[in-house]
Amino acid sequence: MATINEVADRAGVSTATVSRALNGKNTVDSELAARVLTAAEELGYRPNGPARNLRRQETPVLALIISDVENPFFTAISRGVEDVAHAAGYSVVLCNSDDDAEKERSYVSVALEERVAGVLLSPTGRTSGGELLSGTGTPFVALDRPLPGISGDTVLVDTGSAARDATKYLSEQGYRRPGCITGPAGVPTADERLAGYRDGLRAAGIRGCSSLVRRSEFKAAGAGRATRSLLELTQPPDSLLVANNAMALGVLETLRELGLRAGSDVGLVAFDDAPWARLLDPPLSVVAQPAYDIGTVGAQLLLSRIGNERGEPTTTTLSAHLVPRASSDPRWKPF
Amino acid sequence: MATINEVADRAGVSTATVSRALNGKNTVDSELAARVLTAAEELGYRPNGPARNLRRQETPVLALIISDVENPFFTAISRGVEDVAHAAGYSVVLCNSDDDAEKERSYVSVALEERVAGVLLSPTGRTSGGELLSGTGTPFVALDRPLPGISGDTVLVDTGSAARDATKYLSEQGYRRPGCITGPAGVPTADERLAGYRDGLRAAGIRGCSSLVRRSEFKAAGAGRATRSLLELTQPPDSLLVANNAMALGVLETLRELGLRAGSDVGLVAFDDAPWARLLDPPLSVVAQPAYDIGTVGAQLLLSRIGNERGEPTTTTLSAHLVPRASSDPRWKPF
DNA sequence: GTGAAAGCGCTAACAG
DNA sequence: CTGTTAGCGCTTTCAC
C-alpha cells in the first residue's frame, strides 16, 4: 500500500506538504494541494493509522466493553455511545466480554495497548478489568455497574428504587407473595434490585417471602431453572420480579412449559423494556431503564475527561420507571 | 506511560532484550528475563500497540461491520466471528453501520487506515463500502449479502429456497392469498426472498397475488405501515411472509392494533428465529438462518486469506430451514 | 545470548 | 508557503 513518500514523489513535493495538504491545513498553496490530492487519489493512498497514532500519541477511538451483545439493554447503550462519539469525531469499537472476567480483562488490555482515547466499561462483576484501568492515564467511565473499589466516573441507574416500586405495585395489584429472581451475589445491579424488592415487601407490609428469592446468571437458562424451583415450592410465589430481560425470556419459557399464564396465574414484572415485551399475551410489564441515555451520558463524560476536564470522579444516577402492562394484572384474561 | 526504554534501564539491559523477553523468545537468559519481567511489572508497562503494529506491519484485529447491532441475527453472527477469531489470537471490533451507506464507508475507511488484518462486511446494500475494500490488499469477506460488482469471498444463506418453501407451506396450511413484506429493491436478500415467495406461489398454483407485495426498510416501523396498507386492501392477504425479524416486530404490532390474531386471522412466517419468537401467542413460525455459522465460516475464510491462502474467491451458501409453529396454523385458537 | 542501530510511516518543529 | 529533519516506541537484522 502506498506511503506518504510515494505520494510526495508523484506530486513532486515533500512529505510535509503532503501531510499538510491531506490534513486540510490551510497553509498550503492551492495548486500544490490539488496536485497532492490527485496523486493520493491515483495511488489509492490511505494514511497509515498506526504510524499517525504513534506520532500523534493519540487514537481517536473509544472502546466500549459490554457483557452481552445479544442483550438489547447493552445494544441500546451502544447506540447512545456511538451517537455522541461520532458527533465528536471518534469511532467506537464494541467489545463483547460475554460476562467473562477473563475476556473483559483481555479487552481492557487490548484497548490500553492500542492506546485508545478512552474506555467505557460495563463491568462483568467482581473480578474486574477495572483494576487494569485505574492507574493508567487512560480515561474511563463505568456504565451500569460501579467498579468495585475503584474511583472513577460512573453512570448508574437507580434500579433499587425501581425494584421497590415494582414490588409495591405488585402488592397493590393484589399479589400477596411476590418472589424475586435476580443475578449473582456480589454483582451490584443484582444485589440492589434484590434490596429494592425487600424494601418493597416491607413497605407493603408483606412478610413470609424470604424463601422466594433465587439467583442465577443474568441469562435465560438459569432464570428458567430458578422459576421452576420457585413454582414447585409447596407455597409458591404468586408473582415474580425478574432482574433483567434475558432472564425474563427464561421465566416466560418455563411458565409456558408449566402451563401457567402470566398475569392471571403468576404476576410478572421484568427489568428492561425489550421491543418484544408489548407483543406478548399478556404484554409484559417492565421497569424501563434509560439505556440509550446511559450511553450518551457516559460518552459525554468520557469525552470531557479526554478533553482534560479535571475534578473529582462523578457518579450520575439516572432513574428507571415502571411500565405497567397486563402481565401484572391478576384479572387479565386472554381475548 | 512507561516505554520499553524505561523498562530496559530499570532491568539494566538493552531494549532488544526487553522486547525478546516480553515476547517470549527463548533466546534470552532466564535470569535476565526474570529481571525484565519484574521491571515491567513494577512500572506497569504496557507495550505501545501502534508502535508495535507499525513496526510489524500488521494488527491482530478483525473488523466486523454489521448493519444493525440491535438485530439478533447480526449479533449471533458476531458471536460466531468472535469465537473463531479469539481462538486464533485475533480481537474483533464490531462496528455498527446502522444500514447507512455513509457510516459503512466511514468504518471501512477507518478499518483500512488502522491496517486491521481483515474485514468482515455485511453490506448495507447498493452503494457499498465494498468498493473501498477491493483493490486494497486487505483481505475481506462479505457476509449475508454479496458485494455488488465485486469479487471476493462471500458467505450467503439460500433464503430464496427457504422463502419458496415457506410460501408453499403456507398454501398447504390452507392459506390462499399469501402476501410478502420484504426489504428495499436492490438489496439482494430482499429481492431473493421476494423471488422465492413468487416461486412458491407458482409452485402452489396460486395466482392473483401480485398486488400483495410491499417493501420497506428492514425495520419494524416500515413493516408496520406495509402491513396496514396490505390489510386495508379490499382483497387483503390471508397470510404474510416477512423478510426479517425486525420487520416481524412491526407486523405483529400492527396486527395487534387492528385486533387481528396471527394464525387464525393472518398466517405468519417470518425470517430469523429470535429468542422471543416461541413465546408469542401463537408462537411465531420462522425461517431459521444459521447466523452463528455465517460468522464462524466467514471468520475461517478470512483467517485463511490472511494466512496467505491463494485461489479464486469462493462463495459459501448455507441453508435456512422452516420452523413451523402456530402462527401459520389457521386453526390455531388461544387456550 | 546480548547490544547497537536502523527504520516502520507519519507529523510537527524549525529553518528558510 | 515549503522543505529538512527528528523522533513517536517498537522489533529485528547484524555484529559481537
What grid cell was written down for B287? Answer: 425461517
Q: Is the pLDDT of residue B226 over 80?
A: yes
Tell which of B18, B37, B55 closes a domain: B55
| pLDDT mean over B1-28 | 94
Half-sphere exposure of B63 (CA within 13 A, CB side): 29
For residue B77, CA distances in Å to A38, A79, B72 come to 39, 19, 8
Regarding whether B281 and B167 lie in a shared domain, the answer is yes
In the prediction, which pLDDT does A75 show?
Answer: 95
Q: Which of residues 152-191 of A touch B (CB under 8 A)?
A: none
* Partner-chain residue, chosen from A49, A76, A78, that has the shortest CB–CB distance to B113: A49
- Check CB contact under 8 Å for B135 and A110: no
Regarding whether B28 and B74 lie in a shared domain, the answer is no
The answer to whether B22 CB is within 7 Å of strand C is no
| pLDDT mean over A246-259 | 97
Considering chain A, what is the average pLDDT of its residues?
94
- From CA B300, how far away is CA B305, in angstroms rounded? 9
Share of chain B above pLDDT 70, in %: 99
Instruction: Please check whether residue B335 lies inside any domain of the structure.
Output: no
pLDDT confidence band for B335 (50 / 70 / 90): low
Regarding whether A313 and A250 lie in a shared domain, the answer is no
Q: Which residue is nearest to nucleotide D9 (CA to C1')?
A: B51
Find the range with the poorest average confidence among A244-253, B93-102, B286-295. Answer: B93-102
- Check CB contact under 8 Å for A54 and B54: yes
A61 to chain B: nearest residue by CA?
Answer: B110
Q: Which residues contact B135 (CB under 8 A, 6 or more apart)?
A: A44
Regarding whether A132 and A92 lie in a shared domain, the answer is yes
Å separating the CA of residue B14 from the C1' of nucleotide C4: 9
pLDDT confidence band for A4 (50 / 70 / 90): very high
Chain A residues touching B46 at Cβ < 8 A: 109, 112-113, 136
In the prediction, which pLDDT does B135 show?
Answer: 81
Query: Is B115 touching A (CB cutoff 8 A)?
Result: yes
| pLDDT mean over B40-64 | 95
What CATH number does the domain containing A208 carry? Answer: 3.40.50.2300
SS3 B28: coil
- Check CB contact under 8 Å for B137 and A1: yes
Instruction: Please check whether residue B334 lies inside any domain of the structure.
Output: no
pLDDT digits (tens, 9 = 90+) for A180-225: 999 999 889 999 999 999 999 999 999 999 999 999 999 999 999 9
Q: Which residue is nearest to nucleotide D13 (CA to C1')?
A: B16
Rg (CA), chain A: 25
Instruction: Please check whether residue A335 lies inside any domain of the structure.
Output: no
- Tell me how many residue pairs between chain A and chain B have CB atoms under 8 A apart: 129
Higher pLDDT, B186 or A228: A228
What CATH number does the domain containing B9 carry? Answer: 1.10.260.40
| pLDDT mean over B36-40 | 96
| pLDDT mean over A48-53 | 96
Tell which of B39, B55, B71 closes a domain: B55
Considering chain B, what is the average pLDDT of its residues?
94
Q: Is the pLDDT of residue B126 over 70?
A: no
Regarding whether B249 and B271 lie in a shared domain, the answer is yes
pLDDT confidence band for A310 (50 / 70 / 90): confident
The whole domain housing B31 covers 4-55
Strand nucleotide closest to residue A26 (CA to C1'): D1
What grid cell was written down for A79? Answer: 447506540
- From CA A319, how far away is CA A297, in angstroms rounded? 13
| pLDDT mean over B274-283 | 95
Regarding whether B167 and B151 lie in a shared domain, the answer is no
Query: Is A47 touching B (CB cutoff 8 A)?
Result: yes
Regarding whether A254 and A108 lie in a shared domain, the answer is no
Instruction: Please check whether residue B164 lies inside any domain of the structure.
Output: yes
| pLDDT mean over A300-305 | 96
Interface test with A, best of B54, B82, B136 (most A CBs within 10 A): B54
- Check CB contact under 8 Å for A252 and B137: no
Q: Is the pLDDT of residue B127 over 70?
A: no
| pLDDT mean over B293-308 | 96
In the prediction, which pLDDT does A136 show?
Answer: 87
Chain B residues touching A91 at Cβ < 8 A: 95, 107, 110
Find the range with the poorest average confidence among A32-36, B96-100, B197-201. Answer: B96-100
pLDDT confidence band for A126 (50 / 70 / 90): low
Q: Is the pLDDT of residue A50 over 80?
A: yes
In the prediction, which pLDDT does A26 show?
Answer: 82
Q: Is the pLDDT of residue B266 over 70?
A: yes
B280 to chain A: nearest residue by CA?
Answer: A280
What grid cell was written down for B132? Answer: 473501498
Regarding whether A196 and A142 lie in a shared domain, the answer is no
Instruction: Please check whether residue B73 lies inside any domain of the structure.
Output: yes
Q: Is the pLDDT of residue B161 over 80?
A: yes
Half-sphere exposure of B333 (CA within 13 A, CB side): 2
Instruction: Please check whether residue B167 lies inside any domain of the structure.
Output: yes
In the prediction, which pLDDT does A225 show?
Answer: 98
Chain A residues touching B69 at Cβ < 8 A: 69, 75, 78-79, 94
Strand intervals (E) in chain A: 59-66, 91-96, 116-121, 140-143, 153-158, 178-182, 213-215, 239-242, 267-271, 285-288, 315-319, 321-323
Higher pLDDT, A27 or A193: A193
Regarding whether A242 and A96 lie in a shared domain, the answer is no
Q: Which of residues 265-304 of A touch B (CB under 8 A)?
A: 274-276, 278-281
- From CA B32, how far away is CA A237, in angstroms rounded? 64
* Partner-chain residue, chosen from B1, B59, B249, that has the shortest CB–CB distance to A50: B59
| pLDDT mean over B314-329 | 97
Domain count along chain B? 3
The answer to whether B16 CB is within 7 Å of strand C is yes
pLDDT digits (tens, 9 = 90+) for A271-288: 999 999 999 999 999 999
Strand nucleotide closest to residue B16 (CA to C1'): C3
Q: Is the pLDDT of residue A125 over 90?
A: no
- From CA A277, how far away is CA A107, in angstroms rounded? 32
Q: Is the pLDDT of residue B175 over 90?
A: yes
For residue A69, CA distances in Å to A97, B152, B217 come to 9, 28, 23
Tell which of A38, A55, A72 closes a domain: A55
Instruction: Please check whether residue B198 lies inside any domain of the structure.
Output: yes
Å separating the CA of residue B13 from the C1' of nucleotide D7: 22
Å separating the CA of residue B49 from the C1' of nucleotide C8: 13
Q: Which residue is nearest to nucleotide C2 (CA to C1')?
A: B17
| pLDDT mean over B309-334 | 94
- From CA B245, how far away is CA B183, in angstroms rounded? 12
pLDDT digits (tens, 9 = 90+) for B132-153: 888 888 999 999 999 888 889 9
In the prediction, which pLDDT does A335 show?
Answer: 64
What grid cell was written down for B289? Answer: 438462518
* Nearest CA-CA distance, residue A158 and chain B, Å: 24
Chain B residues touching A325 at Cβ < 8 A: none
Q: Is the pLDDT of residue B263 over 70?
A: yes
Regarding whether A149 and A79 lie in a shared domain, the answer is yes
The answer to whether B5 CB is within 7 Å of strand D is yes
- From CA B267, how far away is CA B280, in angstroms rounded? 14
- The model's pTM is 0.93
The one-letter amino acid code at B328 reads: S
In the prediction, which pLDDT does B334 show?
Answer: 76
In the prediction, which pLDDT does B310 show?
Answer: 84
Regarding whether A113 and A169 lie in a shared domain, the answer is no
The answer to whether A235 CB is within 7 Å of strand C is no
Instruction: Please check whether residue A238 lies inside any domain of the structure.
Output: yes
Strand intervals (E) in chain B: 59-66, 91-96, 116-121, 140-143, 153-158, 178-182, 213-215, 239-242, 267-271, 285-288, 315-319, 321-323
Regarding whether B272 and B194 lie in a shared domain, the answer is yes
In the prediction, which pLDDT does B120 show?
Answer: 97
- Check CB contact under 8 Å for A91 and B113: no
The answer to whether B16 CB is within 7 Å of strand D is yes
Q: Of B11, B15, B33, nearest to B24 (Cα)?
A: B33
